[in-house]
Structure 1
Amino acid sequence: MLRNALTALAFCVAGPALATGLQIEVAGEANGTVTIDLFEDIAPNHVAQIADLARAGAYDGVVFHRVIEGFMAQTGDVEFGKLEGGEMNRVGSGGSDKPDLKAEFSDIPYERGIVGMARSQNPDSANSQFFIMFAPEPALNGQYTVVGKVTEGMDVVDAIKRGKGRNGAVIGQPDVMTSVKVID
């Protein structure tokens, strides 16, 4: 019994480093750094996928394609959302080469600064896209996986170029995540 416990402890200590956060450099109408605390204890599979994509540089150069005043800013389409070489007419419909994730719902409310995973109508379809809340939206509670919270740089988030119309599509030059780094 003790041997099993020590083996498990040794694995945890020697295992891969968990991501504790993201540091996102934003350029465009908004310029600056956004720091996000990731909730690996709440949504471990989603956080692992985001961290893997960030470590691989997949988020670097990805635009904020859907930004709705008073609601949220969405980004993370690593398939179509690259500012250079992306397909802006398809941005928002892509994901990554990783599989979609099973929902990891929690009781954390969608308030200002909360980061959630974007998905289609299927609750188990989140992949790489995520959004940052400008304001509370109780209708999202328990419906979308919460993956983190902005701890620094909400002023940068607040300055992200807004989209137009009901779906918040950004017209013209969108703001971009120039660099997304994992904080271990």
Structure 2
Amino acid sequence: MRNPKKRWLNILVCLLLVSGLMITGCSDAPSNSETISSANTTDNEQISFPRLEGNAVVQMTIKGSPVTIEIKGEDAPITAGNFVDLVERGFYDGLIFHRVVTDPKPFVAQGGDPKGNGTGGFIDPDTQQERRIPLEIKLKGDETPTYSKALGQQGSGTVASQPVVLKHERGAVAMARSGMPDSASSQFYFALSDLEFLNGDYAVFGKVTQGMDVVDAIKQGDRIDSAKVVSGLENLKKE
């Protein structure tokens, strides 16, 4: 028989961990519903974000050691396109991992904040505004992702009956965001273990294929030496 006290303790721990994925200090993000005409649109002309129309590979060097990340543009074109665009710009070079949680169990290593404190994002030099991308979740059986809507425990709960394509498995790479669905900018995290309870609420866009030992060894304050696109850059579409 399950111990109810232990069950509620596990739920509380999960809630505390999830709260840390949320970017703090940001004003409410404007909804992208005006630029994304429907929940499952594929019309490039209506989306003013970089898109990755296919897959790519990024090599990130952390404390002198390489980490290879497969970027899944086929299943998360906007989220993947945003990340690859930032890598190409050199945005992540020199940034720190401002949040690393390994206790009571391996959770995430989170970085990509130019301010280094969990409150920052990418300021687009063309608009002088912070670029915030829509929450993008693709469910198995769907041809296109669902946008701007949490589908997991924080939202409709749809993933209970229709699982996500890109799961929060150990080594997954996903975007951090605030309480607003369309608020992810540049902050990302590595999943240090299987985190099924995050499926559908945060956008996974890639997975570590080599160098997971390097990711496991990340400490808070460690820096990204560099990040570069080693293949698939031709799949990045900026217009």
TM-score tier (shorter): 0.7 to 0.9
Equivalent position to 1:177, from 198, 214, 224: 224
Between the aligned partners of 1:111 and 1:19, the Cα distance in structure 2 is: 18
Unaligned segments of structure 2, at least 5 residues: 1-51, 125-130, 139-163, 232-239
| Structure 1 equivalent of residue 57 of structure 2 | 21
Cα shift at 1:114: 0.5
Between the aligned partners of 1:141 and 1:126, the Cα distance in structure 2 is: 16
Unaligned segments of structure 1, at least 5 residues: 1-15, 82-90, 162-169
| Residues 62-118 of structure 1 deviation map (CA, whole Å, 9 limit, x = unaligned) | 1011000010100111x313xxxxxxxxx2110001420111113022110000100
Equivalent position to 1:59, from 87, 92, 108: 92
- Contact 2:53–2:77 (Cα < 8 Å) also in 1: no
- Contact 1:65–1:92 (Cα < 8 Å) also in 2: yes
| Structure 2 equivalent of residue 145 of structure 1 | 203
Equivalent position to 2:68, from 24, 31, 35: 35
| Structure 1 equivalent of residue 115 of structure 2 | 80
Equivalent position to 2:218, from 149, 153, 160: 160
Amino acid corresponding to residue 71 of structure 1 in structure 2: F
Equivalent position to 1:97, from 123, 129, 137: 123
In structure 2, the CA distance between the partners of 1:110 and 1:17, relative to structure 1 (3 Å rule), is closer
TM-score, normalised by the number of residues in structure 2: 0.58
* Secondary structure at the counterpart of residue 96 of structure 2: strand
Compute the RMSD of aligned alpha carbons.
1.6
In structure 2, the CA distance between the partners of 1:183 and 1:18, relative to structure 1 (3 Å rule), is farther
**Percent of aligned pairs with the same amino acid:** 43
| Residues 5-29 of structure 1 deviation map (CA, whole Å, 9 limit, x = unaligned) | xxxxxxxxxxx986602100001xx
Cα shift at 1:183: 2.1
TM-score, normalised by the number of residues in structure 1: 0.75
Amino acid corresponding to residue 229 of structure 2 in structure 1: V
